[in-house]
Amino acid sequence: MSAHARPAWMEKPRPLTQAAKAVALVAVVLLVCVPFLVILSTSLASPEEVVDNGGWVLWPTEPTVQAYRDILDGGIVTHALGVSAGVTAVGTLLSLFCTVTLAYALSRPGVFGGRPVLLLVLFTFLFPPGMIPSFLLVKELGLLDSYGSLIFPVLINVFNLVVLRGFFQSIPDELYEAARLDGAGDWRVLWSVVLPLSKAALAVVGLFYAVAYWNSWFYASLYLESDHWPLQQVLRTYVVAGSGLTDAATSEGTVNAPQTVQMAVLVIATVPILLVYPFLQKYFTKGVLTGAIKS
């Protein structure tokens, strides 16, 4: 209760106000948490219990991980999980590299062509190329049905670029000058001076990229054959759009109720986000706002 400090001038709120606030806050927390709990519980329940209960379970009486065993058995979900993890890891690293180098060049005054390039980049934000021409381009580049089609067309996000550029610009000029005097080249300055000072911004931008790659399904549905699909697209096809997961997902036919299996896929698609989220959450306000306000 020690953090409960009210400024001296502020009077104690009336009980009615406080009650209304408390109700609103509890409602917000429940609205976010209950759907996740339902999904998790249903995935851990036995198929019989799910059927008895009409399709969902709020608290499984006898938790079982059978559904997870079934889908992680070398079938389509296991494969999709690998695709998603790979695309997310490779894509995030490539995106970070390209965004950092371009943002660094655009953040230094006097770089040759800096201003026109910046305008060129900002214009794409105003006028995106459109779905059909982008698809035809990917097709003509021969990227169809390759994992590169999930990465290259979305390599740099202009918002992330602007955030990083703003962050780099906020680093005092004296530090750059000092590094220069010590004889450091651009790469050296970037690596030893700029990046260590930008950890918060890098963490946030990295998270944004990773989440975008992990969550992407539409491009996969356009560009990839179904046996190369990432997890979200598998989820879309078998959970949101309908059925058939049990046959396709498991290496052998099972008697599992599709519901528990579907919910297990949902959990697997959500868990990585929940895992990285707490570590990066503290950087959000700092990272996003320094970049956004600066630009």
- How many angstroms separate the CA atoms of 96 and 164, rounded? 10
Residue 268 burial (C-beta neighbours within 10 Å; 0-12, 13-18, 19+): buried
Lay out the site mask for another protein across 39-68 (x = CB under 8 A, - = otherwise). x--x----------xxxx-x----------
Q: Does 135 bind another protein (CB under 8 A)?
A: yes
Q: Does 124 bind another protein (CB under 8 A)?
A: yes
Ordered DSSP codes for 177-195: HHHHHTT--HHHHIIIIIH
Minimum distance from residue 24 beta carbon to another protein (Å): 6
Sign of CA dihedral 267, 77, 72, 92: negative
Minimum distance from residue 179 beta carbon to another protein (Å): 18
Q: Which of residues 236-295 bind another protein (CB under 8 A)?
A: 236, 239-241, 262-263, 266, 269-270, 273-274, 277-278, 281, 284-285, 288-289, 292-293, 295
Q: Which CB, 3 or 181, lies closer to another protein? A: 3
Q: Does 189 bind another protein (CB under 8 A)?
A: no
Q: Does 136 bind another protein (CB under 8 A)?
A: yes
Q: For residue 109, give the H/E element and its range.
A: none
The two three-digit tokens of residue 217, written as one number: 């399904």
Total interface residues for another protein by CB under 8 A: 93
Does residue 230 contact residue 223 with C-beta atoms inside 8 Å?
no
Minimum distance from residue 252 beta carbon to another protein (Å): 26
Q: Does 214 bind another protein (CB under 8 A)?
A: yes
Q: Which CB, 117 or 171, lies closer to another protein? A: 117
- How many angstroms separate the CA atoms of 71 and 178, rounded? 56
